[in-house]
Amino acid sequence: MNNPRSASITVKDVSFRYGPKVALDSINLQVTSGINLILGPNGAGKSTLFSLLTGLLCPSCGAIDVNGLSFDKQHSSIMQSMGVVFQQSTLDLDLTVQQNLLYFASLHGIAPDKALKNIESMLVELALNDRLQDKVRTLNGGHRRRVEIVRALIHQPQVLLLDEPTVGLDIESRALILKHVRALGDRDSLCVLWATHLIDEIRPSDSLVVIHSGKIKAQGVTELLCRENQVDTVSQLYRKLTGSTEAI
C-alpha cells in the first residue's frame, strides 16, 4: 500500500440519540495517521460512532470531517477514501474469497488484475493466497475476518475503520491481524481507527481514546495518559477515568 498524504478524522461536538437514549454526548475527537485505538466496554458508543463515520447514521448535532472533507457535502468522496470492517460479517457466504474481493473492487471501479495486484502481499501476509477459490462458507471465523480486512484495503484507502475486528477469533488469526494492521500504521500514512475492549491490544506508544457512556473521557498517547493519571496500566487508567469495575 502507498498512502502518501496524511489522513485524519475530526469529530466536532457530535451527539446521537436512539429515541430518548443518548448514545453519544457532544463528543470531540481528532485522530491522524497511524494506529488510534478507542477503548470502551460494550454499549460505550463505539459502534454508534463508527455508524456515524460511515454514514449509516446521521448525527443529531455536530459535524464530521474526514481528510478535510465535510460529511454533509462530500460523503461520496469520503467513502472512496475509507475502508471499513464492521463487527458483523458482510461477506457473501456462497461466493469464493476471490469473488467477494473482486465484486467489492468493481464497486470502486477497479479492474480484476489491478485489484489482485493491490492485495497481493496482503494475501500472503494473512495466509489467504491459497484460499482464493474457497467458498467463504467453508472458512472459519478467523479466516473470514482476514478476508474482510483485505477487502477493506483493496481500493487503497487513506482511512481504515476497524470495529472490534479480533473479538472471538482464534489465536493465529488474531495475531496475524494485529501484526498486519500495525505494520500498515507503521510503514504507511494510513489512519487506523480501531475500536476495542481488549486491553492487551493496546501498546504504550498508541494513540488512545477512552470512551464510556457516550462520552470521551481522555485522548492522548497511552503511556502519557497513564503518567498524567498516576497509574501503571491501561486497565487502571480505564477504571480511574470511568469509575467502572467491569472487566474489559
What is the C-alpha to C-alpha distance for residues 155 and 211, in angstroms, rounded to an integer? 30
- Whether 66 and 121 map to the same domain: the answer is no
User: To 5 degrees, how large is the angle CA 75–CA 211–CA 153?
Assistant: 40
Predicted confidence (pLDDT) per residue in 68-83, tens digit: 888 878 888 888 899 9
Residue 169, domain CATH: 3.40.50.300
- Whether 121 and 236 map to the same domain: the answer is no
- Whether 57 and 162 map to the same domain: the answer is yes
What predicted TM-score, i.e. pTM, was given to this entire model?
0.91
- Please state the domain count of the chain: 2
- Whether 1 and 70 map to the same domain: the answer is yes
- Whether 170 and 73 map to the same domain: the answer is yes
Element (H, E) at 161: strand 159-163
**Amino acid identity, position 243:** G
Strand 191-196 to 159-163 pairing: parallel
pLDDT of residue 3 exceeding 50: no
pLDDT band at 247 (very low <50, low <70, confident <90, very high): low
- Whether 163 and 237 map to the same domain: the answer is yes
What is the C-alpha to C-alpha distance for residues 137 and 131, in angstroms, rounded to an integer? 12
Strand 8-18 to 61-66 pairing: antiparallel
- Whether 56 and 105 map to the same domain: the answer is no
Supply the pLDDT for residue 4.
46
- Whether 122 and 151 map to the same domain: the answer is yes
pLDDT band at 152 (very low <50, low <70, confident <90, very high): very high
The domain of 66 spans 1-81+157-248
pLDDT of residue 2 exceeding 60: no
Average pLDDT over residues 88-104: 96
pLDDT of residue 231 exceeding 60: yes
Average pLDDT over residues 160-188: 87
- Whether 117 and 173 map to the same domain: the answer is no
Percent over 90 (pLDDT), the chain? 72
- Whether 94 and 166 map to the same domain: the answer is no
User: Which triple of cell numbers denotes residue 160?
Assistant: 481504515
- Whether 133 and 25 map to the same domain: the answer is no
Choosing from 133, 156, 179, the residue where a domain stops is: 156
Residues 6+ apart with CB under 8 A from 33: 3, 6, 7, 8, 185, 189, 190, 191
- Whether 103 and 41 map to the same domain: the answer is no
At residue 3, φ and ψ (nearest 5 deg) are -125, 85
